Amino acid sequence: MNKTALWFIRGAVFCALMYAVPSMAIVDTYCPSDLNGDGISDDPDVVCRHITGGDGFAKMADGKDLYVFGFGDATGVPDGEVMMTNMLGANTPAPTIVVKEGQEVYLTLSNVGMANRPDLFDAHSVHWHGFPNASVYYDGVPDASVAINMGASLWYYYKAMDPGTYMYHCHVEVVEHMEMGMVGNLFVTPLQDGTAFDDPTDSVVKNFTKFAYNDGDGTTGYDVDKLIQLGDFDSRFHDASISVQPLPFDTLDGDYHLINGRGYPDTINPDPIVNVDGNPYQPEDSLVTVTQGQRVLLRVSNLSATEYHTLRSLGIPMKVIGRDARILRTGGDPAGTDLYYYTSSVTLGGGQSYDVLLDTTGVAPGTYFLYSRNLNDLNNKDERRGGMMTQIVVQ
């Protein structure tokens, strides 16, 4: 689709929406700590984010343009422009949300509609997957709470008290919306960040200032962190969606296997992948570049709607220090006993996360691979030597 056509569609759908939806429906950012009206919080203890739910396209590593649903980032976009700028603005994966422990989060979700499927009137929601002691209203499950219709905004509030690797996804028509791509990464960084600790279990003396958890001893310290979200797309399902055919739920099975919404070699492209509309909506590579001696924190999650995956590290041992946004100590309690362990793989079903340290002390400079040991994941549909694989470059 060329740019002119795209803007034509946007305009047409925008007009249709304005005509079709009740007059009170309006995009409206809620950010009580925004003093100057730019949609950005002016209080360091408060984070405001604005995301949109809609559709768009992702480009697979073999060049296939895949129709997707997704979230787009509208933080700081004036309310009156959100419908036009974020229509067809689905990001794959959804915009990454990073907040600090103790921060309050106001998240606005606006539904910009499905420009390519004007027959759909789907609502959307945000499920902060794993949020401790969640209320139902802000949990995003439409059966038990509320979801937001097209052209309008819904406001979520969270107090981020527990650091760790979370994820988020839409929970409306959840099989379809997750398979179509409404999945993203969400991290809470610990209060301990900024304090220096030398990990006593380490062979070298090095003061870390960034940590996965409030470990009290530096054992979860890292130099570089990387999100590694595993997922799959079943192109038959996506193609059926764009061509308004019955959706093949009964045969769902991924044929594109992705890390952060990309298949290898796109996984190691440091630039955003540009989609058929010319938009950089696959912004997250998974290439890890480190200097020998540095420690990497992999924030691994699986939001595949269809499969388990075993992620294996070739050449650099994995140290598992967290699971499901909890430090791997007795009962997930920082005061508990270490249950950390070394391995070379982690296996995740949908909705699980692992925090894994890769220490490159003594690791020879070179290129190392991180890949799915489900060997049928190592392709981009019919194209071999691709799929769920990325690189760690030690310099």
Partner 1 sequence: MLNRLKKKLGLVVAMAVLGVVMAACPASAVIQGVTGTAFNFTAKPGYIYGGDGVSIYIWGFANGTGVVQYPGPTLLLHEGDNVSITLTNSLTTNVSMVFPGMSNVAVTPGGSGVPGIITTECPPAGTVTYTFTAANPGTYYYQSGTDPALQVEMGLFGAIVVYPTGSFPASPGVLSQPGHAYNDTQGDSAYDREYLLIVSEMDARIHRAAERGIAPDTNGFFSVYWFYNGRNMPDTMGAAGDPMLPTQPYNALFQMHPGEKVLYRIVGIGRELHPVHPHGNHTNLIAQDGRLLSSGPANGADLRKRLFTIPTTPGGTYDTIFEWTGANVGWDIYGHAPGDPMQPNEFAADHGKPFPTPIPHQQDLMPGQLYSGSPFLGGSGALPPGEGGFNPTGAYMHMVHDHVEKELCNDGIFPGGAMTIMAIEHPSVPIP
Could you say which residues in the range 128-147 bind Cu ion, by CB under 5 A? 129
Q: Locate 111 and state its tokens.
A: 């539904």
The reply to whether 172 sits near Cu ion by the rule CB under 5 A is: yes
Give the helix/strand (H/E) hosting 183.
strand 183-189
257 closest CA partner among 101, 381, 109:
381
Residue 170 contact among partner 1, Cu ion, none, beta carbon within 5 to 8 Å by kind: Cu ion
| Cβ neighbours of 274 (radius 10 Å) | 12
Minimum CB distance to partner 1, residue 308 (Å)? 5
CA distance 40 to 46: 10
Residue 333 CB coordination number (10 Å)? 10
Within 180-219, the residues that bind partner 1 by CB under 8 A are none
Helix (H, G, I), strand (E, B) or coil at 297: strand
Interface with Cu ion in residues 332-391 (CB under 5 A):
351
**Sign of torsion over alpha carbons 167, 276, 115, 14:** positive
Widest CA span in the chain: 67
Out of 10, 50, 59, 124, the only residue in the binding site for Cu ion (CB under 5 A) is: 124
252-291 binders of partner 1 (CB under 8 A)? 252
Query: Binding to partner 1 by residue 236, rule CB under 8 A?
Result: no
Residue among 30 and 369 whose Cβ is closer to partner 1: 30
In order, the DSSP letters of 53-65 are EEEEEEE-TTS-E
What part of residues 285-324 is at the interface with partner 1 (CB under 8 A)? 304-308, 323-324
User: Which residue, 130 or 322, has its beta carbon nearer to Cu ion?
Assistant: 130
Binds 244: which of Cu ion, partner 1, none (CB < 5-8 Å by kind)? none
Tell me the site size for partner 1, rule CB under 8 A. Answer: 75
Question: At closest approach, how far in Å is the CB of 298 from partner 1?
Answer: 18
Cα distance between the two ends of the chain:
41
Shortest Å, Cβ 357 to Cu ion: 25
Residue from 3, 121, 341, 367 binding partner 1 (CB under 8 A): 121
Asked if residue 231 binds partner 1 (CB under 8 A), the reply is no
Using CB under 5 A as the binding rule, whether residue 177 contacts Cu ion is answered as: yes
Site for partner 1 in 347-386 (CB under 8 A): 347-352
The site that binds Cu ion (CB under 5 A) totals a number of residues, namely 7
In whole angstroms, how close is the CB of 219 to partner 1 at the nearest point? 17
Which H or E run includes 95? strand 94-100
Binding flag, residue 243, partner 1 (CB under 8 A)? no
* Peptide bond just before 93 cis, omega within 30 deg: yes
* 325 touches partner 1 by CB under 8 A: yes
180 scored as a contact of Cu ion (CB under 5 A)? no
Paired tokens of 51: 């995301």
CB atoms within 10 A of CB 282: 26
* Contact status: 91 vs Cu ion (CB under 5 A): no
CA atoms of 193 and 278, how far apart (whole Å): 38
133 Cβ neighbours under 8 A, 6+ residues apart: none
Q: Minimum distance from CB of 122 to partner 1 (Å)?
A: 5
Among the listed residues 191, 333, 365, 376, the single contact to partner 1 using CB under 8 A: 333
* 33-92: contacts with partner 1 (CB under 8 A): none
Q: Are strands 65-73 and 46-59 parallel, antiparallel or unpaired?
A: antiparallel
C-alpha angle 302-307-310 in degrees, rounded to nearest 5 = 65
Site residues, Cu ion (CB under 5 A): 124, 129, 170, 172, 177, 182, 351
